[in-house]
A and B are shown apart, each in its own frame.
Chain A
Amino acid sequence: MQLYLPIADLPVNVFLVLAMGAAVGFVSGMFGIGGGFLMTPLLIFIGITPAVAVASVASHIAASSFSGAISYWRRRAIDPALASVLLCGGVTGTALGVWTFTQLRALGQLDLMIALSYVVLLTTVGSLMFSEGLRALMRTRRGAVPPRRTHNWIHGLPLKMRFKRSKIYLSVIPVVIVGIMIGFIGAIMGIGGGFILVPIMIYLLRVPTSTVIGTSMVLTVATMLLATMLHAVTNHLVDAVLALILMVGGVTGAQFGARAGQKIRGEQLRLLLGLLILSVGVRFVIELVIRPEDLFTIRELGVSG
C-alpha cells in the first residue's frame, strides 16, 4: 500500500516502513538502545533525504524508548535519581551539540564529519563490546569466577551521592559529564546515544545491569523529544506521517524485543550488540573507502516559487 509523505514529498510503501520500524524497534527493545544509528541509514536507503530522515527518526526513537522505559519502570528497573542527574548533563550537551552543528554546517563538509564520527564511534564501541562479550563468554564456558569489580579513580571523586535503586555511591561529576557527552554526540550525529551510554554506565560508573537499560532509556526519551522540537522549529523537516508509521512499528517491535532480551544472557547480548554496531561501522568504512558507483551527487537548495 503506497502512502504519500507530506514533508518528505514522496510516496512510500506503508508495510515496508512499518516492517523497518518493527525490526529496529525489536533491536532497540532487546539491547535498550534507541536504534537511530540503524534507522537513519535505512530511511536514506529507501530514498528519504538525510535531513528529513534524521529529524523524523528522533521522534520515532522517543516513542519506542518511552514504551520501553514504561515497562522497565514497572519492573522497578529505573533509577530515578541517576536518571535526573544524567538528564541535567544531557540537556546541556544537546544544546551545545546543536550549536556546534550550526557552526560545522557553516564551515562545510558536515556530511564527512558525520560519516567519520560514525566510523570512529561505531567501530571502537563495537569492537570493544564484541571483544568484552567474547571474553565474558569464554570465562563462563570455562566456569571461571568473573573478576571482582574493583573501584577505579572515578570512585574517588568528590560530591558523592547515594543512588538507592542502583545501590551505588557515586560522585555526580562523572555522571553529569557522561550526560553532556551523550547529548552532544546525539545532537551532532542524530542518534540517541544509548549504545555508548550503556557500556559507559556499566564499565566506568559500575551501575548494575539491572537498572542500566531502563535508566539510559529515560535519557534517550528526553534528548530525542528535545531534538524533535528543535528540528521542527528550526528546519521544519519532521515528517509526522513518516514518524507515526515508524513509531507504530517501533513500539510493537520494542515490546517483543524487550521480552526477548530478558531471555538472553548478558554477555551474549553484549556480544550480539557489539557485532551489530561493528557491522554498521564497517559499512560506513566501506562507503568511504570503496570507489562510489557515482562520483556525482545532487542536492536541492530549496524550491523557490
Chain B
Amino acid sequence: MTRALLAVVLVLLLGSAARAERLIVSVSNHRVTVTPNYSGEELVLFGSVEKDATTPADRTAYDLVVTVMGPRADMVTRRKERTFGIWINTDYRQFLQVPSYLALFANRPFDVITSPDIARRQQIGLNNVLLTQRVSGDYADVVPNDAFRSAFIRLRTQRGLYREDTSAVTFLTPTLFRTGIPLPAEVPIGTYEVEIKLFAGGAFIGKTETAFEIVKVGFEQFVATTARQNGLIYGLATAAMALMTGWMASIVFRKD
C-alpha cells in the first residue's frame, strides 16, 4: 500500500518536473542512405533546453544523456570450452530483442550526473541498459558482471556497434547542446530510436525522443529485395552470371 502510494507521488513529482523544461532536438539527417561507397558516417544531434515559468530560478546547469538504439534482434552468445582436447561451443545464452546498435552519450561521467539508483531505473550506461536473456525458460536481465552479458557488450563494442562516451555531449551555451552519433561501416539497416534524457542536480527531470532511419537505396535495395522475394529468379540469374563470366573469360584468354 505504502509502496503504491509512493509510486503515485513519484509519478506526479516526475510529471510536474517534466513540464518545467522542454527539450527541443533534431538530427542532422533523418534518413541515412547506404550507397555502394558507404563506409560509415557521423550524424549530429543538436537541441536546446527550453525553460518556462515553472522552472525553478536557481536551476542553471543541466546534464544530458543521449541513448541511440538500432533495430532490435535476437542474438546468441556462445562460450567455448575445452572438451576432449578441442575447443568447442558448450554453453550459450540467448539475448532477446536487444538493440543491434547501442550508443550512450553524456556530457560528463554517469556517476557524476546522477545516483546509481536513478541510473539503473533510467537505464543510464551500458551496465544498466536492459538486455533480456532467456535463462532456461525464464526471461530476465542478469547482474551487470554476468560473464555472458559482459562478453556480449565487449564483443559488440569491439565492432563499434555498442559504445559509451561520457564526453560526447557538449553544451555550447548552458542550454544549447550538440553531440555526434558515429555510425560504423557495418551498420545494421533499420529504424534508430534516439532518447534524450535531461538531468539537473542529480534528478531526472524529463526526456524527449526522436528517430532516424538507415536505408539501402538504388542498386543495393534492388539486389537485397530481389534476393529475399524472388529467390528462384535471383538464383538463376546468379547461376547464369557464373556461366557467362566463365565463358567470357575463356574467350578473352583464348590462345590461337
Q: Which of A2, A109, A297 has the most CB of B within 10 A?
A: A297
CB–CB B151/A296 < 8 A: yes
CB–CB A298/B152 < 8 A: yes
**Stretch from A85-93, A137-145, A243-251 that touches the partner:** A243-251
CB of A106 closer than 8 Å to a CB of B: no
The contact string, 1 if C-beta is below 8 Å from chain B, for chain A 1-41, is 01110110111000000000000000000000000000000
CB–CB B189/A63 < 8 A: no
CB-based A-B contact count at 8 angstroms: 202
**Shortest beta-carbon distance from B52 to chain A in Å:** 36
The contact string, 1 if C-beta is below 8 Å from chain A, for chain B 179-193, is 000000110111100
CB of A238 closer than 8 Å to a CB of B: yes
**Stretch from B14-22, B194-202, B242-250 that touches the partner:** B242-250
Which residues of B have CB within 8 Å of A6?
Answer: 216, 219-221, 223-224, 227
CB–CB B224/A232 < 8 A: no
**Stretch from B72-80, B116-124, B168-176 that touches the partner:** B72-80
Given contacts A304-B73, A305-B72, contact A233 B232 (CB under 8 A): yes
Which residues of B have CB within 8 Å of A60?
Answer: 242
CB–CB B87/A243 < 8 A: no
A305 and B72 alpha carbons, distance in the complex (Å):
7
CB–CB A303/B190 < 8 A: yes
Q: Which of B80, B236, B250 has the most CB of A within 10 A?
A: B250
CB–CB B249/A232 < 8 A: no
17 contacts between A and B (CB under 8 A): A9-B188, A11-B185, A63-B242, A66-B243, A109-B88, A230-B235, A232-B232, A236-B227, A288-B87, A289-B85, A291-B82, A292-B80, A294-B155, A297-B78, A301-B75, A302-B74, A303-B190
Q: How many residues of B contact A (CB 8 A)?
A: 65
Given contacts A67-B247, A233-B231, contact A299 B87 (CB under 8 A): no
Which residues of B have CB within 8 Å of A63?
Answer: 241-243, 245-246, 249
CB of A131 closer than 8 Å to a CB of B: no
CB of B13 closer than 8 Å to a CB of A: no
A3 and B34 alpha carbons, distance in the complex (Å):
11
A295 and B87 alpha carbons, distance in the complex (Å):
9
CB of A276 closer than 8 Å to a CB of B: no
CB–CB B39/A11 < 8 A: yes
Which residues of A have CB within 8 Å of B242?
Answer: 59-60, 62-63, 66, 224-225, 228, 243, 247
Which residues of B have CB within 8 Å of A64?
Answer: 246
CB–CB A289/B250 < 8 A: no
**Shortest beta-carbon distance from A259 to chain B in Å:** 8
Given contacts A9-B189, A298-B155, contact A66 B246 (CB under 8 A): yes
Q: How many residues of A contact B (CB 8 A)?
A: 63
Given contacts A4-B37, A298-B77, A301-B74, contact A67 B220 (CB under 8 A): no
User: Which residues does A use to contact B, with CB under 8 Å?
Assistant: 2-4, 6-7, 9-11, 47, 59-60, 62-71, 109, 111-112, 221, 224-225, 228-234, 236, 238, 240-241, 243-244, 247-248, 251-252, 254-255, 288-292, 294-305
Which residues of A have CB within 8 Å of B55?
Answer: none
CB–CB A244/B241 < 8 A: yes
CB of B137 closer than 8 Å to a CB of A: no
Given contacts A291-B82, A299-B75, contact A11 B246 (CB under 8 A): no
A181 and B188 alpha carbons, distance in the complex (Å):
40
Given contacts A6-B216, A59-B239, A295-B79, contact A305 B191 (CB under 8 A): yes
CB–CB B73/A300 < 8 A: yes
A87 and B65 alpha carbons, distance in the complex (Å):
63
